[in-house]
Amino acid sequence: MPPFSTTTLLTILTLLILTTLATPSPPLPYAIFLLRAFGPLSPLQLLARHHLLTLHLPARTLAPPSLARTHTFASFLADFALGAIDVLIIPGGARARSPDLGPEVDFIRRVVGAGQVGHLVTICTGSGVAAQAGVLDGRRVTTNRGAWATVGAVGPAVKWVAPACWAVDGNIWSPSGVSAGLDLIFAFIKGKYPDGPALATKFSGLIEYQPNTNSSHDPWSGYFNIPTPNQL
């Protein structure tokens, strides 16, 4: 099972946009926070905590990656009217635990609190970043099992859900951790596009991933001894 990654997410969204661009099938405008590293590096990052590991990244040149930000927070607020972004995706990872997220938290509070975003999707510990903005208060949300206590501490007013592979509360979608982010994205595509089920099957084959379709399937809550104050 491949870990959730920004690369995989962008691949799925690119396929989705190219497939639906010819017909008016909302949602179309997406915004993604770039908070974590790419792809298969996730397991290697965890491995490096237990064994000495040296990682080299050879390439044709030392030019920076071609994926560049499209907006600063200020220019985004200036360019997009209220409701202009259908989906805001907030991934997690090590960066999501940084104590220096003031600008990110303020941005989330402004755009989500003002109704500028149609759907808020958090991935893994990205729910902790959104929780700090107060936009998850009173909502049913789940998060990474290994970070349950630390994420819950920054969102005491959130109704944290376990067991759950992912949770949906109105316009807020949240998976548990890492790979569950892919399962949620496939469920989101199925639920939000008229040809979503067919597209999900097609994309599943293209990236060779069999998504879990049961939002209640969660073997990890028991593994991490997660309390169940709220359940699906």
- Name the 3-class secondary structure at 13: helix
How many Å apart are CA 202 and CA 54, to the nearest integer? Answer: 37
> Does 150 reside within a domain?
yes
**Residue of 93 and 221 predicted with greater confidence:** 221
> Does 232 reside within a domain?
no
> Does 111 reside within a domain?
yes
Residue 21 has pLDDT above 70, yes or no: no
Q: What is the domain extent for residue 21?
A: 6-37+72-223
52 phi and psi, to 5 degrees?
-60, 130
Residue 63 has pLDDT above 70, yes or no: yes
CB 61 within 8 A of CB 5: no
Residue 42 has pLDDT above 90, yes or no: no
> Does 110 reside within a domain?
yes
> Does 141 reside within a domain?
yes
Q: Which of 96, 81, 178, 171 is CA-nearest to residue 130?
A: 96
- Name the 3-class secondary structure at 142: coil
> Does 52 reside within a domain?
no
- The 10s digit of each residue's pLDDT in 168-219 is 999 999 999 878 988 998 899 899 888 889 988 988 888 888 999 999 999 9
Q: What is the mean pLDDT of residues 23-52?
A: 63
Query: CATH number for the domain including 180?
Result: 3.40.50.880
- The 10s digit of each residue's pLDDT in 71-89 is 888 888 888 766 677 888 8
**Residue of 146 and 43 predicted with greater confidence:** 146
CB 123 within 8 A of CB 92: yes
Please tell me the total count of domains within the chain: 1
Assigned token pair, 161: 């859900």
Q: In the prediction, which pLDDT does 50 show? A: 79
Q: In the prediction, which pLDDT does 54 show? A: 67
Q: How far out from the chain centre does Cα 137 lie?
A: 18
How many Å apart are CA 44 and CA 50, to the nearest integer? Answer: 10
> What's the predicted TM-score (pTM) here?
0.81
Residue 160 has pLDDT above 80, yes or no: yes
How many Å apart are CA 165 and CA 221, to the nearest integer? Answer: 9
Q: In the prediction, which pLDDT does 227 show? A: 87
- Residues forming beta bridges with residue 175, ordered by sequence position: 166
Residue 130 has pLDDT above 70, yes or no: yes
How many Å apart are CA 230 and CA 138, to the nearest integer? Answer: 12
- Name the 3-class secondary structure at 106: helix
One-letter amino acid at 162 equals: A
Q: What is the mean pLDDT of residues 6-22?
A: 54
Assigned token pair, 71: 């907006």
CB atoms within 10 A of CB 66: 5
Q: In the prediction, which pLDDT does 75 show? A: 85
> Does 165 reside within a domain?
yes
**In the structure, what pLDDT confidence band is assigned to residue 162 with cuts at 50, 70 and 90?**
very high
Residue 151 has pLDDT above 70, yes or no: yes
> Does 49 reside within a domain?
no
